Amino acid sequence: MVAFIAVSAACGGDDAAPQPTGPLGTVAGVGVVPDPTGSDALGSGGVVSTFPSGRQVTVGEVADGNKVLFIGDSIFAALSRRFGGPACDLLVPLGWQVSIEGERGKPINLGLDIIEKKLPQGFDAAVLFLGTNYGRDQAKYREMLREILDTLAPRPVIILTATEFKPYIAEVNEVILEEAAARENLWLLDWRSISRAPGLLWKDGIHPVARGNDVMMERIIEMLGTPPLPSTGKCLPSEFTNDAPLTNLPPEASTTTDPNATTTTSDPSVTTTSVSSSVPGVTTTTLATTITTLASN
């Protein structure tokens, strides 16, 4: 497995894990580690992907296949088709078979339930967002996150930091940064920094509005890239749909659609979605351009 990134933090792994050194921190085979105290620790867009060789590596370049599992709470539930989310519409044309598994109002324990049920179905990569419903017990959170990551390894995993809508959410991100520094199979997407841009979150300061979901998916797509071989994409049915009754969600997250609808395509270069993501603080791109570029490389 090729190492992707690490962040300067107190490592939470075993003694064999690479340790940051130097003024900014470097890890053998990885490159420069950003200073996590900056306003945007991972640079523009929250993405660091530069190796000493200058090569950029996506999940698709190292994954064994095209099945990707999203594991999360209400943030990822909103990306699913039952809430009219964009994940399948954007990933299926790239050739990914995608399962969006997230339930509103659930703590990190849900991640353990999801991987127990879903991993035997043969997933090749994962995307993880489990930090919003934090129980304010950092040791317990660390223990459960490590169990989830240990079980997912050696699959490539994109892990997102959480929006710090309360000061104690910084404890969640501390653990995530530790694990990203210690594990070579993690791609770190700093949603904490990205979500500070105006116009991405609803009035609660937690849940993305439609434009926020589009920006989140754009960043995930940049890291996922395309599957390792020409593949037929598919939107797999969500199995975890037992949402807690919440009222603090953006209006678009309250509209449900058929959770079992599927879409397939045999041409990963075909795209049907074009969404502008011109947001202050976020690099201006177009999802359709991103998808077409990725699919043609």
In DSSP notation, 72-114 reads ESHHHHTTSGGGT-SHHHHHGGGT-EEEEEE-TT--THHHHHH
Residue 288 belongs to domain with CATH number? 3.40.50.1110
Q: What is the pLDDT of residues 209-237, one digit of tens each?
A: 999 999 999 999 999 999 998 889 999 99
Read off the amino acid at residue 221. I
Q: Give domain status of residue 17, yes or no.
A: no
Residue 148 is given by DSSP the state: H
Q: Give domain status of residue 141, yes or no.
A: yes
Q: Give domain status of residue 4, yes or no.
A: no
Mean pLDDT of 93-121: 95
Quote the crossing angle between the two packed helices 138-152 and 169-182, to the nearest 10°: 40
Q: Give domain status of residue 241, yes or no.
A: yes
What local confidence, expressed as pLDDT, does residue 39 receive? 35
Residue 264: pLDDT over 50: no
Structural domain harbouring 141: 26-296
Q: Give domain status of residue 3, yes or no.
A: no
Residue 46: pLDDT over 70: no
Q: Number of folded domains in the chain?
A: 1
- Lowest pLDDT segment from 28-37, 230-239, 268-277: 28-37
Q: Give domain status of residue 18, yes or no.
A: no
Neighbours of 1 (CB within 10 A): 11
Q: Give domain status of residue 188, yes or no.
A: yes
Q: Give domain status of residue 13, yes or no.
A: no
Interatomic CA distance for residues 66 and 236, integer angstroms:
12
Residue 202 CA: distances (Å) to CA of 42, 150, 174, 194: 23, 33, 24, 14
Interatomic CA distance for residues 177 and 186, integer angstroms:
10
Put simply, whether the predicted model's pTM sits higher than 0.85 gets the answer no
